[in-house]
Amino acid sequence: MTLMKTFRRLAAASAIALTISGAAQAAEEVTIGFTGPLSGGAALYGENTLEGLKMAAKDINDAGGFKVDGETYTINLVSLDDKYSPSQAAVNGKRLVQQYKSPVIFTPHSGGTFALQAFNERDGFIVMSYTSVPAVTAKGNKLTVKIPPNFTDYIEPFSKITMERFGKKLAVANATHDYAKYWTKEFVPAWEKLGGEVVSNNAMDYNKSADFYTGVSKALSANPDVMFIGGASEPTGLVARQARELGFKGGFILMDQAKIDEVAKVSGGIESLEGSVGVVPLADYDTKGATQFVEKYKKDHKNVATSETAYNYFALHLIAQAMQEAGSVDDAAKIRAAIPAALNKLPGEFNPYDVHEISAQGDLNADPQIAEVKDGKVVLHRMSELKK
């Protein structure tokens, strides 16, 4: 009786095993890796970036996959949580390469990117880095692609707009994490070069402060015309709100991590951000691809689409296109070399930001837009126009 049972179980188990392996043979899969913060304070940001990848993978798989060399491939997205920690990102990266044979790994932070760059050329995978820190591509890593524009591109136009409107005295009151420090380091000399003066330099830990009244009142005691603030959108909104409560009448320069529309939700409406400059919220972007993406996002989501979702959505479509151009799903160098050709062929609906070229170093370039809050409305400027 027990023997019979064992046999039956064995038969069932082998039947299941056969079906699984059979299914795997029918459609080839290419595994795309992701390591980013999926828990802890940056969980929302990590999930937003991952959501873009998920949407692109769904697009591709629903269309029946893509053809490389006569074989049809679908995308298998494997996401691992690194809690924003570079060392955990490196561990995840190793796992994605060794266990899942992933030829491409996405990561939404500079720390993770640097950690993966320690072994990506040797292990043969592309790092798709969603960070606007220029250093990730400046080091000459051949298999790194930086998805968003360099943050340094924003500095001059941001400074000029606010300096002309409000005055030359600047208070620095942004966050203290690495990315914010990069910004301050580049921003302060640029502001001074344009003839401005930094009257107060009082960065605050946006993630570990229970309250910003102290820091903001310190920044305001120097009577600045413009405040440079920013970290994650919501704490930035709190800082802006408290600055207004404490009587600040000037303009804000928002570090690009903060999105004007999300900041406004916390700070008390767009009127409270009068005179602010920042990056353009995706919903206000006036390219065709952006409008299509926002519509598409609305169908399955309750909240509003963010730029990190849109950029990562674009980036995975780009990789799939590049694999087709390269005729390979596992040779990272070939895939990287095929990206310029893939950019030309990628349909506009997958490219919300009109990214049009990739530099030899691996920077994807677009013509970003800049938002200014004027008379309670968001006004758009094109970077290329401001530079003239």
The span from the CA of 71 to the CA of 91, in Å, is 31
Q: Pick one of 41, 124, 167, 340: the residue that binds other proteins (CB under 8 A).
A: 41
Burial of 377 (0-12, 13-18, 19+ CB in 10 A): exposed
Q: Pick one of 61, 192, 213, 354: the residue that binds other proteins (CB under 8 A).
A: 213
CB of residue 260 to other proteins, shortest distance in Å: 15
Measured CA distances, 280 to 11, 102, 244, 261 (Å): 60, 33, 22, 9
Judged by beta carbon, residue 203 or residue 373, the one nearer other proteins is 203
Q: Is residue 217 a contact residue for other proteins (CB under 8 A)?
A: yes
Q: Which of residues 298-357 bind other proteins (CB under 8 A)?
A: 303
Q: What mask of x and - would describe binding to other proteins in positions 259 to 278, judged by CB under 8 A? A: ------xx------------
CB of residue 38 to other proteins, shortest distance in Å: 9
Q: Pick one of 78, 188, 199, 246: the residue that binds other proteins (CB under 8 A).
A: 246
CB of residue 53 to other proteins, shortest distance in Å: 17
The span from the CA of 47 to the CA of 147, in Å, is 17
Cα–chain-centroid distance for residue 122?
A: 25
CB of residue 301 to other proteins, shortest distance in Å: 11
Pick from 129, 125, 143: nearest CA to 31: 125
The span from the CA of 50 to the CA of 291, in Å, is 20
CB of residue 215 to other proteins, shortest distance in Å: 4
Judged by beta carbon, residue 215 or residue 224, the one nearer other proteins is 215
Q: Count Cβ atoms below 10 Å from residue 188 Cβ, excluding itself.
A: 17
CB of residue 51 to other proteins, shortest distance in Å: 12
The span from the CA of 338 to the CA of 327, in Å, is 9
Instruction: List for the chain the helix, strand, coil content (%; round to 5).
Output: 50, 20, 30
φ and ψ of 255, to 5 deg: -55, 145
φ and ψ of 374, to 5 deg: -130, 125
CB of residue 379 to other proteins, shortest distance in Å: 25
Q: Which of residues 3-32 bind other proteins (CB under 8 A)?
A: none
Q: Pick one of 247, 299, 375, 387: the residue that binds other proteins (CB under 8 A).
A: 247
Q: Pick one of 197, 245, 300, 357: the residue that binds other proteins (CB under 8 A).
A: 245
The span from the CA of 36 to the CA of 92, in Å, is 9
Q: Which of residues 182-211 bind other proteins (CB under 8 A)?
A: 202-205, 208, 210-211
Give me the residues that bind other proteins (CB under 8 A), please. 39-41, 43-44, 47, 176, 202-205, 208, 210-211, 213-215, 217-218, 221, 232-235, 237-238, 245-247, 265-266, 303
